[in-house]
Every structure is written in C-alpha cells, then in structure tokens.
C-alpha cells in the first residue's frame, strides 16, 4: 500500500486533517509529520499574543498518524471499503509547547492490534528532536462493508 493511499483513506479533511506526510510504516509502527500553519483558527484565541498549540490538537495529530493511518495500513489495502474508527482512550504527558509554523513528527509503536482494537505507544517530537508529548492511545477500527 502506497503511503499516500493511506492518507487518502482518512475520514478527515481541511481544516481538521493533521497529516502532511507519512515517512515509514510497517507491521510494528508508523512515522509521520505535520507542520502547524500559523493561520489555524485556534491560534487566534489560545494564549492571545503568544499562541501555543492546544494539547487536544497535539493529541489529535498523534491519533490521526499513530492510530488512524496505522490502523488503515494494518487493516489492508482494500480501497473499495471505508473504515469506521473511534478513539477509545488516551493517556498523554505534555512536556514542551508547540508554536505556529513548527513541524512535528509522530512515532507510533504497536503494543497490540486484536479484535479491531489498536493500542500504541506514541511520541511527538519537534524539529530539534525533543519530545513534546508522549503516552498511549487506543482505538477501535474496522472496514465497513
């Protein structure tokens, strides 16, 4: 499966698509990145005069790359059927702020994938290689018939 095919199957669109590129994927994990556009609406009111990316958005970036894209890959290459997916749990530690124009990279490693439930250890790093946040995410997913 081509990495761009994975992104094309995501059930998200602008302005809520937080995946620019997938760098690597295999049966054990996925790596992808996203750059925060300085004109995103949430920057207008999240710490006026000193915009910082909200933690919920950082979690969403990790979920879109580390769970949704990874789950699409693990479910296989049947492009004719959509995917139903839902985040079921998250436990994230926030370590550093992310500012507008920053590029972040998600590293997601499979803990398990069984009976449609995917659980991963995820780490988000900034361009300098520092951990921005890390934790675990779980979600349910299946191919729709």
Residues recognised as catalytic: 46
Token pair of 127 as six digits: 């361009």
Q: Phi and psi of 19, rounded to 5°?
A: -135, 120
- Beta bridge partner(s), residue 29: 26, 109
Q: Which residue has the tokens 């910082």?
A: 52
**Rg of the Cα atoms in the chain:** 15
Residue 93 CB neighbours (<10 A): 9
């Amino acid at each position: 499966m081509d990495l761009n095919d994975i992104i094309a199957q995501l059930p998200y669109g602008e302005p809520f698509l937080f995946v620019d590129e997938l760098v690597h994927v295999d049966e054990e994990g996925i790596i992808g990145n996203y750059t925060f556009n300085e004109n995103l609406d949430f920057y207008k009111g999240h710490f006026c005069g000193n915009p910082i990316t909200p933690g919920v958005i950082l979690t969403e970036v990790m979920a879109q790359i580390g769970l949704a894209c990874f789950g699409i890959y693990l479910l296989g290459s049947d492009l004719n059927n959509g995917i139903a997916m839902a985040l079921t749990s998250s436990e994230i530690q926030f370590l550093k702020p992310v500012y507008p124009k920053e590029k972040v990279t998600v590293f997601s490693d499979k803990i398990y994938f069984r009976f449609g439930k995917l659980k991963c250890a995820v780490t988000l790093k900034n361009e300098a290689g520092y951990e921005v946040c890390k934790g675990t995410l779980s979600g349910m997913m299946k191919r729709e018939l």
